[in-house]
A and B are shown apart, each in its own frame.
Chain A
Amino acid sequence: MYRIVRKETLTPIITLMEVEAPRLACAAQPGQFLIVRADEEGERIPLTICDYNREKGTVTIVTQAVGASSKEICALEEGGSFADVAGPLGQPSEFISLPDEELKTMSFVFIAGGLGTAPVYPQAKYFHERGAKVDVIIGAKNADMLILEEEMAKVCDNLHICTDDGSKGYKGLVTAKLEELMAAGAGYTQAVAIGPMIMMKFVTMSAKKFNLPLVVSLNTLMVDGTGMCGACRVTVAGKVRFACVEGPEFNAYDVDFDEAMRRQAMYRTIEVEADHKCKIGRGK
């Protein structure tokens, strides 16, 4: 069950895995995600689907070791397996419903931050294969933190790398790069940003200056991922929406990012403020 057929260490803390999940691989579409549990005691962790191979019956996921659960996932070995892999979950990217003739007239810019590069990959690939113009901007702290650069280069027209320290490509933030490209007349008709909440918030402000339509993919807290619990709720256009079933992609201009960031950090603040391992948060 859910065997890990390939494991690749992309950076010291980011790991790529190709996992057997035949039904899931057959059904996956760009924009969707899945949920894994590393072992029987494991937390249900949502991860975006980075790639899928319908013939082999595998899906590719990319995990960054940050908390206890993601470290556990990254520690699994090639040949080992996950206790559970469920999906695909969420709505596919809305643009895959467009006919190819229409896609050919579109000019996409994808803005990927850090780990967000993984979910951008299948979308860039999908639209590029169907004749859309696709540019990708990847942002990372430094050259060592960049992932999927080569793969991405193959599925887009122009790849722009931005690093905070200038160790590779453009020195600066993805927002600055986006604004520079737009100002120079890149003429994008649709932007898609996937990355840390804070990055998506600022990309939204940059895109707004150019009236550039923008979609973001929200990585909220989740438990079941099936619409049963409401842990993933976000306010979009003043209404409460469940990111796991109605998202994860939403129109960026409608998203309440400040609320989303605060909710996303809910258990993290407890972990830090409780200042010990007690997982049953008491007091604030």
Chain B
Amino acid sequence: MAARIPRVPVREQDPEIRAKNFKEVCLGYSDEEALLEAKRCLNCKKPACMTACPVSVKIPFFIAQVAAGNFAEAAKIIAIDSSLPAICGRVCPQECQCEGSCVMGVKGEPVAIGKLERFVADWSRENNVKFLEKKPFNGKKVAVVGSGPGGLACASDLAKLGYGVTIFEVLHKPGGVLTYGIPEFRLPKDTVVAAEIENVKALGVKIETNVVVGRTITIDDMFDKEGFDAVFIGSGAGLPKFMDIPGENLNGVVSANEFLTRSNLMKAYKEGSRTPIYVGNKVCVVGGGNVAMDAARTALRLGAEVTVVYRRTEKELPARAEEVHHAKEEGIQFRLLTNPVEIVGNEKGWVTGIKCEQMELGEPDASGRRSPVAVPDSHFTIDTDVVIMALGTSPNPLIAQTTPGLERNRKGGIVANEDGVTSREGVFAGGDAVTGAATVILAMGAGKRAAAAIDEYLKNKK
């Protein structure tokens, strides 16, 4: 019976209109829509959705409360496992996590778990439902490095347990990638991100911006001079990668991080911001992840004609399915199986085009994976004014270099186990700083596990 209700579509801004503004694309469910969608959930005894959620949100239980109209109760259930539901509901790659495993998806469409989670979180924010109970101060202090989802989650859990927590953030605004990376049209800054950060502060967490850990103060200083008993490092993914092809330093070639930081953190997309941003008339974005989609759709909104260049096929695009779908609706062109080999410029040193070669899928290798190989003599040039490189990151060595005894792996990331335990006593780490660029939910989960481990460590330490 339930299986016959089709998935309730979520209202969105019309593609033609939203391609010209920075307002949120997805408008979310109304109360009625949420009730209807929640009724589709079968309340499975062995919920596959829950196993596939990296932090095991009690999905059938919260959805049952939504179906019963108890939105505040639903929020309480989500809050047990997730500190940032309004954010995860919006940016989790649900199709390969919770929704990807929902039994309803076997024959039809999975339950819209992400949209329901977002609905509950937005509803509780709008209705001022908060979960700010905390134990009294226990006399111990913990420092958190970085205010991205990893740092925020770790800080709020520790604050609830009674620790005095200070977050040190190098930028002038907290939030990490949520603030400087993911654009407004996907994750509203004032209503959603700032509100989550306010909640963390309401728990008594202090956030000190403009502190470069490793330079302004070192991890050793935190213990020796500032009296902290433990430290969590959630400093993020690090330095943008480039391709190492000719022409990459021409004017008009930028990393996606630079482009998005100018637009999101520095608000270059708005009148009145002092920070410049350049899009020209045509923009090529190299890469296929969320970062590439965000850069492409930002450039589009700033008025450019945008092409995404990716060396594999559509199937391998690592971005969230919804983002690719939205990007296409908005008119972004995709050049798949296309690999840049050189960026060409004019005599003044400005980009004029990007020279690519056509790829095709080769024979399957031992693992059965068909990797792309270049088609001989297939070079062609795409005219463009700007090239945005969205190729991933490599770890920022600053903290590891200035923290004696902190072990790094071969790639330069900080070595930490599942609980965030590093090679230095009292120092924990998690999120992108450990795993390399991953997801918001994984960073948040790592922050929460580290908070539990820090609590355990400090309780046992005399």
Query: Does B276 contact A282, Cβ atoms closer than 8 Å?
Result: no
Q: Does B68 interact with chain A (Cβ within 8 Å)?
A: no
Given known A-B contacts A43-B275, A224-B171, A226-B170, A280 and B302 have beta carbons under 8 A apart: yes
A266 to B252, CA, bound (A): 8
Residues of chain A within 8 A of B278, CB atoms compared:
266-267, 270, 280-281
B1 to chain A, nearest CB (A): 52
Q: Does A130 interact with chain B (Cβ within 8 Å)?
A: no
Query: Does B396 contact A228, Cβ atoms closer than 8 Å?
Result: yes
Query: Which of these, B210, B248, B254, B348, contacts A86 with CB under 8 Å?
Result: B210
0 or 1 for each of B205-232: is its CB under 8 Å from A? (1 = yes): 0000111100111000000000000000
> Which applies to chain B's interface (DSSP): helix, strand, loop or mixed?
loop
Q: Does B251 interact with chain A (Cβ within 8 Å)?
A: yes
Q: Does B315 interact with chain A (Cβ within 8 Å)?
A: no
Q: Does A142 interact with chain B (Cβ within 8 Å)?
A: no
Residues of chain A within 8 A of B279, CB atoms compared:
280-282
Query: Does A283 contact B281, Cβ atoms closer than 8 Å?
Result: yes
A34 to chain B, nearest CB (A): 9
Given known A-B contacts A89-B212, A267-B276, A283-B280, A240 and B249 have beta carbons under 8 A apart: yes
Residues of chain A within 8 A of B248, CB atoms compared:
240
Query: Which of these, B211, B266, B303, contacts A44 with CB under 8 Å?
Result: B266
Which of under 10, 10 to 19, 20 to 34, or 35 or more describes the interface residues of A? Answer: 35 or more
B183 to chain A, nearest CB (A): 15
Query: Which of these, B239, B262, B266, B272, contacts A242 with CB under 8 Å?
Result: B239
Q: Does A237 interact with chain B (Cβ within 8 Å)?
A: no
Report the tally of A-B residue pairs with Cβ distances under 8 A: 142
Query: Which of these, B258, B269, B274, contacts A231 with CB under 8 Å?
Result: B258
Query: Does A281 contact B277, Cβ atoms closer than 8 Å?
Result: yes
A-B complex: 4 closest residue pairs judged by Cβ atoms: A86-B210, A229-B258, A281-B278, A43-B274
Q: Does B94 interact with chain A (Cβ within 8 Å)?
A: no
0 or 1 for each of B253-285: is its CB under 8 Å from A? (1 = yes): 011011001100011110011111111110000
Q: Does A42 interact with chain B (Cβ within 8 Å)?
A: yes
**8 Å CB contacts to B: which residues of A218-263?**
223-224, 226-231, 233, 235, 240, 242, 245, 259, 262-263
A263 to B385, CA, bound (A): 15
Number of B interface residues in the complex (CB < 8 A): 49
Residues of chain A within 8 A of B302, CB atoms compared:
280
Q: Does A179 interact with chain B (Cβ within 8 Å)?
A: no
Q: Does B80 interact with chain A (Cβ within 8 Å)?
A: no
Residues of chain B within 8 A of A83, CB atoms compared:
172
Q: Does A284 interact with chain B (Cβ within 8 Å)?
A: yes
Closest B residue to A235 by beta carbon equals: B249
Q: Does A14 interact with chain B (Cβ within 8 Å)?
A: no
A227 to B397, CA, bound (A): 10
Residues of chain A within 8 A of B275, CB atoms compared:
43-44, 223, 279
A123 to chain B, nearest CB (A): 18
18 A–B contacts, CB within 8 A, in A order: A43-B266, A43-B274, A69-B274, A86-B170, A86-B209, A88-B215, A224-B171, A227-B239, A227-B396, A231-B254, A240-B249, A245-B398, A262-B251, A269-B251, A270-B278, A280-B278, A282-B279, A282-B280
Q: Does B238 interact with chain A (Cβ within 8 Å)?
A: yes
Query: Which of these, B254, B273, B274, B398, contacts A227 with CB under 8 Å?
Result: B398
Output the residue of A27, A44, A226, A271 with the most chain B CB within 10 A.
Answer: A226
Q: Does A85 interact with chain B (Cβ within 8 Å)?
A: yes
Residues of chain A within 8 A of B217, CB atoms compared:
23, 27
Query: Chain B: residues with CB nearer than 8 A to chain A?
Result: 170-172, 180, 209-212, 215-217, 236, 238-240, 242, 244, 248-249, 251-252, 254-255, 257-258, 261-262, 266-269, 272-281, 302-303, 348-350, 385, 396, 398
A183 to B396, CA, bound (A): 44
Query: Which of these, B257, B276, B277, contacts A229 with CB under 8 Å?
Result: B257
Query: Does B170 contact A229, Cβ atoms closer than 8 Å?
Result: no
A32 to B180, CA, bound (A): 25
Closest A residue to B385 by beta carbon equals: A284
Query: Does B277 contact A68, Cβ atoms closer than 8 Å?
Result: no
Closest B residue to A233 by beta carbon equals: B249
Residues of chain A within 8 A of B212, CB atoms compared:
86-89, 226
0 or 1 for each of A115-136: is its CB under 8 Å from B? (1 = yes): 0000000000000000000000
Query: Does B257 contact A230, Cβ atoms closer than 8 Å?
Result: yes
Query: Does A84 contact B209, Cβ atoms closer than 8 Å?
Result: yes
Query: Does A282 contact B266, Cβ atoms closer than 8 Å?
Result: no
Closest B residue to A240 by beta carbon equals: B242
A242 to B240, CA, bound (A): 10
Closest A residue to B395 by beta carbon equals: A227
Closest B residue to A21 by beta carbon equals: B210
A281 to chain B, nearest CB (A): 4
Residues of chain A within 8 A of B251, CB atoms compared:
262-263, 266, 269
Given known A-B contacts A228-B396, A263-B249, A279 and B277 have beta carbons under 8 A apart: yes
Output the residue of A41, A85, A240 with the most chain B CB within 10 A.
Answer: A41
